[in-house]
Structure 1
């Protein structure tokens, strides 16, 4: 399986119970949803095709030694999103392409927390955040945020940086909205 980092495992340091996905589940109760004050995922803006003009020549783009600014890290995007400084769409765009750290159990797949209001998958923006939660020698694998949305079992939400200052918990319905929003943006 791709994305696995073969690090040592000494066990989970947190007080929660974890079970691999695929365990029979009950329908989730009303959940956490998007961050308070943030709306769900809106319809994507319509695609606009540039119009060619016969009387204006294309302007050459300036070139030089400066490169475009680096995209924000997922940690920065999460901090901005939870403080209300960035939109849901901007956070979503950063999440999709970012590396996500996932605790790893004995069996392949996500670990799920079942002692929460509804089952959630713990995800982390950095190895530092994962180790804060699961311990210094914990095993993990990495995937992109887009792969998380593709692989996450139906009926599960996720918690990003559970022990972090800027954590966010999205219930199963909010995750479905993220998936729907992604599909509309990709396929119209």
Structure 2
């Protein structure tokens, strides 16, 4: 998880997901191996007819939050479960920017956004937003998508509020 490209695993997962249940090689008809359920035309056995909608991506949540169409609590819930891409140096840990009013740590909603900021060959690691909140050093803030259209800056006080929110949600 720390600093290597995870595309190999993603390719294997994509290959596995492309192999549908009971699929036949191209050009060979199915011989009625699977009965159909009335009202489920073209569905794959074992999968719901109408799958649950996927939650919004972190980038979508950033856009919605910065435009005022997403509440802070909803943003924090999405952030907590989302992947966050962090540039890294030769030593483990966050890279911080100290040329700001308060030190901040650059983080990104996607590998594409990280590459736009740090370059194609940059090292990085991926963690969840909840892990960010847990591991961020006291007194540091973070900035999401520094070079992006909807950059978000969370100062140290905002991070403390996020920690408080997470603790209340978890422990009541």
TM-score by structure 2 length?
0.74
1:105 equivalenced with 2:89 (yes/no) = yes
CA RMSD between the two structures: 1.2
Establish whether residue 6 from structure 1 lines up as the match of residue 4 from structure 2. Answer: yes
Partner of 2:53: 69
Q: Could you report, residue by residue, the CA deviation over 1:119-163 in whole angstroms, capped at 9, with x for unpaired residues?
A: 000000000000010011111000000000000000000000000
Q: Distance in 1 between matches of 2:95 and 2:3?
A: 16
* 1:121 alignment partner in structure 2: 105
User: 1:89-104 alignment to 2 at 5 Å?
Assistant: 89-104=73-88
Q: Which has the higher helix share?
A: 2
- 1:181: which partner in 2? 165
For 2:153 and 2:170, the matched residues in 1 are separated by 25
Aligned to 2:156: 172
Divergent runs of 4+, >4 A: none
Cα deviation for residue 68 of structure 1 reads 1.2
Give the secondary structure class of the aligned counterpart of 1:113: coil
Bigger radius of gyration? 2
Could you tell me how far 1:6 is from its partner in structure 2?
A: 2.3
Instruction: Identify the residue that residue 21 of structure 2 maps to in structure 1.
Output: none
Q: Which has the higher contact order (CA 8 A, sep 6+)?
A: 1
Q: TM-score normalised to the size of structure 1?
A: 0.68
In the aligned structure 2, how far is the partner of 1:93 from the partner of 1:87? Answer: 10
Q: Is the 8 A contact 2:98 2:104 kept in 1?
A: yes
Number of aligned residue pairs = 131
Secondary structure (helix, strand or coil) at the match of 2:99 reads: coil
Structure 1 unaligned spans of 5+ = 8-62
- The residue aligned with 1:85 is 69
